[in-house]
Structure 1
Amino acid sequence: MLVMVSGGSGIAPFISITRDLIFTTSTLKSTTTPQILLISAFKFSSDLAMLDLLFPHSKTPSELLNFELHIEAYITREKQPISENEQKPLRTIRFKPNPSDAPLSPTLGPNGWLWLGAIVSSSFIVFLLFLGILTRFYIYPVDHNTNRVYSHTSQAMLNMLLVCIAIAMTGCIGFVWSKKQIAMEATKQVQEMEGEKLTRFSDDRELESLPHQSIGKPNNVHYGGRPDLKRILLERNESSVGVLVCGPKNMRHEVAAICSSGLAHNLHFESISFSW
């Protein structure tokens, strides 16, 4: 027996656990999965739609008959169910990728070392070219290799300036060229994705669903209160009961206190916590 207790967004890890158990049940026919009791607490009834994520969309209800999952949902901030006219439909919209949404990469793109080597070698060639032009058409006609007009210090400063100009020029050219290549590849990938036929959703389809229409409909929905975790856990008479809890800090501490109180020796506690 497995009891999973969640509060709010704490249901997230249980979605992965449930889907993994469903996959194991469907692929390994000889494997038996434990009976699962899911206790979920939400603030509003609209949050019940998150229970639909427990089951993969590729699975039909007939394929889940061998998976024993009992869901008890608790709505803490609503005293009674909301009528269908008052319920706001939840929309799941599939956004098309944008060519400008390119993934973050180094300045010179994924092949940064190749681009860096090309920039270094090309900047050296550009420097030699500029040095030859400067010496032949500017320094030599004035100085004639006497070093009287242009001393070694002046020539060294001019050489350093040429090095900076060569590196800046080749670096800018390499950066612009790399960005263009990345943009072209991203555009090509988007066009290929848009050209593929979507089997699950049509291109312009928006899925609208109400909480009571989901496959993961809870067996019981309780309004206006929190679950009595002590009563629920102590009533489990199986020989071994695994208890997983994920949610607010007070909820985790309450479940831990119940499992370690010594009132029941068949409870095995495990906490899952996450933070931003």
Structure 2
Amino acid sequence: VKACEFLPRLISGHSPIRIQLEAPEDLQGPYRWRLNPHLLTREEFMGEIKSAIQEFFQFNQSAPSSPDVIWEAFKAMIWGKIIAFSSASKKAFRQQMVGLEQELRGAETELYKNNSEENRERVATLQHDLNELSSSKAERALLRTRSRFYARGDKAGKLLAWQLRREEADRLIPSSRLPDDTTSFAPEAINGAFQSYYSPLYSTQKHEGSMLSFLDGIEILTVSGEMGERLGAPLSLLEIREVVDSLQSGSLP
């Protein structure tokens, strides 16, 4: 063990622990580059790649080289563009994560010193931002392991936990504007604001006059005496046998 440190509380109430180990030998296999499918969902990436493709064929459309050489040069160019964009995105993502973790560590220290509403809201906001970044990282991991995800099915595991965590983050309401025109990050205040807003909408409106006039205009069918006797009659042995015979094999009545 080379190093060990406590990290900020990002999700739960417990602080994660980071441990750095030194392996006896290099166990890393040969590197194989793969396209990150998450990049295809980013508009800035698609725009940059589109511009690079148009620029390449604009200058190499009437080149004296053979189509095979142009195609190989194009693949090398587009590969370099993708790697450069991916490296810059990873670097910016890591810097953002490190910056938020440092801010959260400082905010937690201030919260320990002064347990004020402002410090609690700042810690909650930083935790929410870090949760969103962690969820996007988990989403990229799911895209890279989609085949394994479907092979596991509905079995409990890390992949299912990542997906549930992403859905929980999408449903999270970090803040709400209260009736006094202030913004609160407290869960109790947020629940109270939603309750006060939706309670009048879903409460029963008792207007007996309108209810009776509505029911008077509807023709309600009644069961005749003969039909009522047939419905209330006890079941015969033949009817029970027909129902049992119609059941699937292995099922109980």
When the two structures are superposed, what TM-score results if normalisation uses the length of structure 1? 0.25
Which of structures 1 and 2 has the bigger CA Rg? Answer: 1
The structure in which a higher percent of residues are helix is 2
When the two structures are superposed, what TM-score results if normalisation uses the length of structure 2? 0.27
The structure in which a higher percent of residues are strand is 1
Higher relative contact order (CA 8 A, sep 6+): 1
